Amino acid sequence: MIETKLNKINTLQDVSERNINPEVRIESDSLGSMEIPSNAYYGIQAKRAQENFPLPVAKVHPELIRSMGKVKYACVCANLQTNTMPEQIGSAIKKACIELINGEFDEQIIVESIQGGAGTSINMNVNEVLANRALEILRVDKGRYDIVSPNTHVNMAQSTNDVVPTAFKVSVLSMEENLINSLEKLFLALKDKEQELDDVLVMGRTHLQDALPIRLGQEFGAYSRVLRRDIDRIKSAMKSLSTVNLGATAVGTGLNADPVYIQAAIEELCSITGLNLEVAEHLVDGTQNTDGYIHLSSALKNCALSLSKMANDLRMKASGPSCGLMEINLPPVQPGSSIMPGKVNPVMAEMMNQICFQVQGNDHTVSLASGAGQFELNVMGPVLFKNLFESIDIITHGAEVFAVRCIEGITANKEACKEKVENSVALATALNPHLGYEATSGIAKEVLKSKRSVREVTLEKGLLSESDLDEIMQPKEMTEPGIAGKHLIGIGVRQA
């Protein structure tokens, strides 16, 4: 029947049915008719959405377009397997899906990322593109939805409410590898710096005040370890997105979706994506709840907070070059002032701070949107997707460039670090195991009063020898538990 209809259209189409203006075609929906450019693959519903949501925020993420193509491909394959899709139409839609996946119709996805309707606009934009490309493959004019319909055929056994969330999860899982690789690169850069700077003693600080000495390598070791935990948290959150609600249709009841179709669709989707996906055990739950998105957004936020703290530390430790801490040198990547010659700013750390602020703000948006769901559907999906995409993208790109253009090039100002340690009254605490609290308290008071170093006052009082002090002030001696005092047991506690 479909072949006969196609042949009739291709050979005997009445000229009177064509538009007078060859540059446009007329499309109709339940709200009326509109002119659509004749060469456009999108249709009336996408055009309405473009006019309704002219928001200069961001177009639909390219990864979501690819994933929509993959989901639609899996669905048409399943419909062909269950003999509910005409073979000729199904084959044409499959070919159109492959072209969409390959990025051939990105410019035809004209809707904005933020839109009302829980994603109906992006779903229908994709449906129309695939339908019109299928018509073109069948050598029929675009817009002949009585032959290939965006709703009847492309959207068969589907709803926006199961297709779009499934496509989003496929997108995020497809982005995981690049995200984790970027964070792993930063992790390895921090680990390398931990080893490289392990013999550099610096003044540790609490409350922004001198505390006790610490090795610079230990500080970088702490940065690497929190990042390791952040990576593990992100991986765990990603796993929770492998459960999808494909086949749930509108409210999770699976109306119009045959169980055989659901199983076939998920198997095909796993095959085309290479992902280990599974259908939600409870499709109503899978359709109305967005806790998986919150879990991932929270993990990204945690990572951002860790990275922001790290960037703050590095900026402060590199402050100077004459009047700041100047304990480390950050790679000079660009001039820092339009008026002050020679000024170089910590721009890579500043960039990382700003990325982290954005991710934290995105997480707040995701939280608000997730809590704004009602009954069987959270209609705020589009803004959830936009913000999670942005967080993943900027952490992915930011972490790698931060590793390469900042962390890998950090060096220590060893003399400045040594001077600060030896001139700090807090160093007297390291003498406690050797001299006792009372004696070291007297040294500290004298240091504060005379503005001399702990070494100078201790030697002047004759409490320890130069060689004793050299040994006590070894980096390992001062920065690891259980070592202090072991080699000086024979000296005993001397009186001030």
pLDDT of residue 425: 87
Per-block average pLDDT, block size 10, for the chain (496 residues)?
A: 56 43 92 97 98 90 98 98 98 98 98 96 98 98 98 98 98 98 98 97 94 95 98 98 98 97 98 98 98 98 98 97 95 94 95 98 98 96 97 98 98 94 84 89 90 90 90 80 54 46
Contact 473, 431 (CB under 8 A): no
Which pLDDT value is given to residue 483? 55
Residue 422 confidence (pLDDT): 81
Q: Both ends of the chain: CA-CA distance in Å?
A: 107
Tokens at residue 114, please? Answer: 């933020």
Per-residue burial over 380-419, b if 16 or more Cβ lie within 10 Å, else e, is: bbbbbbbbbbbbbbbbbebbbbbbeebbbebebbeebbee
How do residues 221-243 score in pLDDT, each as one tens digit? 999 999 999 999 999 999 999 99
Q: Which helix (H) or strand (E) holds 81?
A: helix 62-81
Give the pLDDT of residue 38: 97
Class of the 425-488 domain? Answer: mainly alpha
Cα–Cα distances in Å, from 149 out to 78, 124, 262, 484?
Answer: 17, 11, 21, 79
CA atoms 402, 407, 410, 414: torsion sign: positive
Q: Residues 317-336: pLDDT tens digits?
A: 999 998 999 999 999 999 99
How much is the pTM?
A: 0.91
pLDDT of residue 3: 59
Of 3.40.47.10, 1.20.200.10, 1.20.120.1200, 3.20.20.140, the CATH number of 163-243+282-414 is 1.20.200.10
What integer pLDDT is reported at residue 13 of this predicted model? 43
* Selected catalytic residue, list 33, 271, 337, 450: 337
One CATH from 1.20.1560.10, 1.25.10.10, 1.10.275.10, 1.20.120.430 for 2-156:
1.10.275.10
Q: Which two tokens stand for residue 317?
A: 């430790």
Let me know if 337 is a catalytic residue.
Answer: yes
Mention every residue, 6+ apart, whose C-beta is less than 8 A from residue 83: none
Nearest to 186 by CA among 392, 408, 349, 412: 408
CB 108 within 8 A of CB 190: no
Domain residue spans of the chain: 2-156, 163-243+282-414, 425-488
